[in-house]
Amino acid sequence: MSILVLGLGNSLMTDDAFGPLAVAGLLERFALPPEVAVVDGGTLGLDLLPRLEGVGKLLILDAVDLGEAPGTVFRLHGEEVPRAFANKLSVHQMGLQDLLAVAELQGHLPAELVVWGVQPASVDIGLGLSPAVAAALPEVVRSVVEELQGWGVAPQRVA
């Protein structure tokens, strides 16, 4: 059973870049075994469908507006994930909801689904994370490593 760590977000829209930056941070600091794929999914939406084939556990990293204080870190699991993305307006978040629905219809929905996310302060056009979201990045990377360890994977620190 393989594991996919998927960072979602638009790198040109301030805090929406959180997902891609989180997977980059994970890869900078840790070596992962071959059964773990790490992908910057950007805003690809349904184009990511082939990546879900054969995946048993899916861990998504993203900025999601849940109405909390900017930089608030959260973990969503299982059925909480589609509900959290149901009313989102950004292209990649609507794409995620569609991606999960089509994957389920095709029998490729991973058995385990977890989102580690952060409350954005801004998703305006621009480069760089807000201070609150940037401060949350190391915590999320640590949480992802702990999640993977809970799934029986042993990431090895490289930096």
Three-state secondary structure call for residue 151: coil
Least confident of 116-120, 121-125, 146-150: 121-125
Three-state secondary structure call for residue 20: helix
Residue whose C-alpha is closest to residue 65's, from 113, 14, 23: 14
Q: How far apart are CA 70 and CA 131, in angstroms?
A: 9
Tokens of 73: 């870190």
Tokens of 3: 């594991």
Going along the chain from its start, the domains and CATH numbers come out as: 2-153 (3.40.50.1450)
Report the chain's mean pLDDT, rounded to a whole number.
Answer: 86
Q: How far apart are CA 62 and CA 60, in angstroms?
A: 6
Least confident of 7-21, 89-103, 106-120, 138-152: 89-103
> How do residues 32-69 score in pLDDT, each as one tens digit?
999 999 998 877 777 777 888 888 999 999 998 888 99
pLDDT at 108 over 90: no
Mean pLDDT of 22-37: 95
Q: Indicate whether this model's pTM tops 0.85.
A: yes
Mean pLDDT of 17-39: 95
Percent of the chain with pLDDT over 70: 90
What pLDDT does 92 receive? 46
Three-state secondary structure call for residue 116: strand
pLDDT at 72 over 80: yes
Mean pLDDT of 17-45: 91
Q: Is the dihedral of CA 3, 101, 60, 20 positive or negative?
A: positive
List the beta bridge partners of residue 156: 31
Q: 139 versus 104: which is more confidently predicted? A: 139
Q: How far apart are CA 24 and CA 2, in angstroms?
A: 20
Q: How far apart are CA 85 and CA 65, in angstroms?
A: 9
